[in-house]
Amino acid sequence: MQPDSAIYRARRERVLEQLGDGVMVIATAPEVARNRDTHYPYRHDSYFYWLTGFNEPEAVVVLVGGAAPRHILFCREKNEEREIWDGFRYGPAAAREVFAFDDTFAYDTLDAELPRLLENQPTLAYLIGRDMAWDTQVMGWLNTVRSKARSGVHAPNRMVDARIWLDEMRLVKDGHELALMRRAAEISTGAHRAAMRATRPGGHEYEIEAELLSAFRRGGAEAPAYTSIVASGANACVLHYVFNNRPLRDGDLLLIDAAAEFGSYAADITRTFPVNGRFSAAQKDAYELVLAAQAAAIDAVRPGNHWNSPHEAAVRVLTQGMVDLGLLQGEVDGLIESGGYSRFYMHRTGHWLGMDVHDAGEYKLQGEWRPLVPGMTLTVEPGLYIRPADDVPEAFWNIGIRIEDDVVVTGSGCEVLTTPPKTVAEIEAWMNL
């Protein structure tokens, strides 16, 4: 599928407006060896792709600001032999036309060309400190320029972390991005429905993972957005459980945290449901508490509220519910102030979502939680994780519940993008058709 080069060109022009006089250099991700002569499936760097729409390895985008701005791409040359083995390459000439660049160069000319592009520039912006090998390469280019000082050439004397601009731009999604995120959410919703329908006592967690992965690919997703969590019974109380190898037992809950990546944009969904299709009384009480906390948090996602508003809303509902269920003792305000609730709820209620599952963007500005504005996308994911203990009612032991949806801030509130069955009635009806 050909990229819409005008979208990426417009993004680069916005960056150049912020940069002013100077140069920005952003490399894509390297290929990573899995073992010996095989590699992990390639996935480009998100910053690079956001600026280019170009998904081949060994590529660098250079933006030159000032009175005569230039958009430059370094990429692999055409190579018939390597294309027989590895697949199609654009090459510099085609890439210039397809991706709307002013100039393109072969990737192996990077060390020769970059110092020339940096000569007499006041500012260099790149992703400082993210990759030590890349930092070393940048320092080499700067030293090459500095070696020409006697000829009247100077190197950039100001270094800027490119994330100060790119993170803010990526944080608020445009219509193109939201369309891709809606499709990722739609594919992921279908996968969760399939996983619920396939779950039954006697199976294994990995069988449900297989249902998810199959549904992702059938829906057209490139890959999972992250390693799928398929956690039954006590495993659901392990926040980042990924072994996915336990038998599914009658009477247990199954927590699935899994979603697809489509068009380089991620969804992120969690659902928790009974392996046998029917909630026990204790499971239902705990589940409906988390569901109420999520509803309160989603209601708090609206313009003018700050980032932490959904978390605060979820924590208050959860803490009151934990007191009501006998999991905690004390006054709700005191338990919130002391953090006593975190024994059973130890993570935040959401994170930014986009090209990365935990997407770019600061959560505070000048020490204060930032306000929500239309176009921001985030997850809302409260939970309860109840491990066995002498002071915990036995009916709640090993109940782990998380409910997570993806939302985009709108002009008046928010739009929920993800819609697998969520209420007790919906889940039980879907699983028992």
Q: Which amino acid is at 177?
A: E
The catalytic residue among 358, 363, 368, 394 is 358
Helix (H) or strand (E) holding 33: strand 33-35
Q: How far is CA 98 from the centre of its chain?
A: 27
Backbone angle region of 251, left / alpha / beta, with phi > 0 → left and psi within -120 to 50 → alpha: left
To 5 degrees, how large is the angle CA 279–CA 284–CA 288? 135
The catalytic residue among 176, 347, 370, 387 is 347
Backbone angle region of 309, left / alpha / beta, with phi > 0 → left and psi within -120 to 50 → alpha: alpha
Return the closest-CA partner of residue 188 out of 419, 421, 424, 432.
419
Phi/psi of residue 164, each to 5°?
Answer: -60, -25
**Non-local CB neighbours of 239 within 8 Å, separated by 6+ positions:** 346, 347, 385
The catalytic residue among 45, 209, 211, 381 is 381
The catalytic residue among 34, 36, 150, 240 is 240
The yes-or-no answer on residue 154 being catalytic is no
Is residue 114 within 8 Å of residue 18, measured between CB atoms? no
Distance separating alpha carbons of residues 79 and 62, to the nearest angstrom: 23
The yes-or-no answer on residue 306 being catalytic is no
Phi/psi of residue 273, each to 5°?
Answer: -155, 160
Distance separating alpha carbons of residues 420 and 408, to the nearest angstrom: 17
Is residue 28 within 8 Å of residue 48, measured between CB atoms? yes
The yes-or-no answer on residue 404 being catalytic is yes
The yes-or-no answer on residue 39 being catalytic is no
The catalytic residue among 8, 126, 265, 385 is 385
The catalytic residue among 11, 261, 351, 406 is 351
The yes-or-no answer on residue 351 being catalytic is yes
The catalytic residue among 268, 359, 405, 406 is 268
The catalytic residue among 257, 359, 405, 406 is 257
The yes-or-no answer on residue 358 being catalytic is yes
The yes-or-no answer on residue 204 being catalytic is no
The catalytic residue among 209, 404, 405, 406 is 404
The yes-or-no answer on residue 176 being catalytic is no
Phi/psi of residue 346, each to 5°?
Answer: -110, 10
CA atoms within 13 A on the CB side of 221: 31
Pairing of strands 364-365, 383-386: unpaired
Distance separating alpha carbons of residues 318 and 38, to the nearest angstrom: 47
The yes-or-no answer on residue 240 being catalytic is yes
Distance separating alpha carbons of residues 270 and 343, to the nearest angstrom: 21
DSSP state of 352: B
The catalytic residue among 170, 402, 405, 406 is 402
Is residue 138 within 8 Å of residue 126, measured between CB atoms? yes
Catalytically active residues are 37, 240, 257, 268, 347, 351, 358, 381, 385, 402, 404
